[in-house]
Amino acid sequence: MIETAFTPWASLTGGILIGVASVLLMLLMGRVMGATGILAGLVQPSSGSDFTWRATLLVGMATGPLVLWLISGEMPAVEVPISTLTFVIGGVIVGIGVTFGAGCTSGHGVCGMARLSPRSIIATATFMGFTFATVFIIRHVIGG
C-alpha cells in the first residue's frame, strides 16, 4: 500500500518558493517558468545569455536538496514506491503529454493559470483529471 504523506508546511514553503521564482523570472527576464521549456531551451539555446539563465535555474533546482542539507543537516528522504520500469514508462508518458500539451505543470499550472490563460486552465484540468484517475485506479482498482 502506498502511503500519502501529509506535509503542509513543507508543501506551503515549496509552493511559495516556486511562486516567487516564477514571478521573479517573469519580472526580470519576461519568461514563463515552465521546467520542460527551460530544459528544451538549454539543449538548443538561442544565445549564450539564453543558455546561462536556463543553466543557472536548472542548477538551482537540482541543488535545492543540498541547500536543505546545509541548513538542517539532513538530506530529504526520497522514496519511489514503484519499479524502475514503471518509473521509466511514467516518464515517457509524461514526456509525450508535455509535447502534446505544449507545456508542463509548472508552465501551465503555475504561470499560465496565474495569467488566466484558457489553454493553461484546460491543460491543468486535464493533468489533474488524469492524475486523479491514475491514483484511483492504482489504489482502488488494481490495489497497489
Q: How many residues does the chain have?
A: 144
Per-residue pLDDT, 2: 62
Helices 8-29 and 48-72: crossing angle, nearest 10°? 150
Cα distance between residue 107 and residue 109, in whole Å: 6
Cβ atoms of 31 and 25 closer than 8 Å: yes
Question: In 10 A of CB 111, how many CB atoms?
Answer: 23
The pTM assigned to this predicted structure is 0.73
pLDDT tens-place string over residues 67-119: 889 999 998 887 787 889 988 998 898 888 888 888 888 889 888 998 899 99
The pLDDT confidence band at residue 140, using thresholds 50, 70 and 90, is confident
**82 DSSP 8-state letter:** S
pLDDT at res. 32: 87
16, pLDDT greater than 90: yes
pLDDT value of residue 49: 85
- At residue 61, does pLDDT exceed 70? yes
Decide: residue 112, CB within 10 A, 0-12 exposed, 13-18 middle, 19+ buried: buried
Dihedral angle sign, alpha carbons of residues 91, 4, 124, 53: negative
Share of the chain above pLDDT 70, in %: 97
Cα separation, 123 vs 117, whole angstroms:
10
All three cell numbers of 122, joined, read 484546460
pLDDT band of 144, cuts 50, 70, 90: low
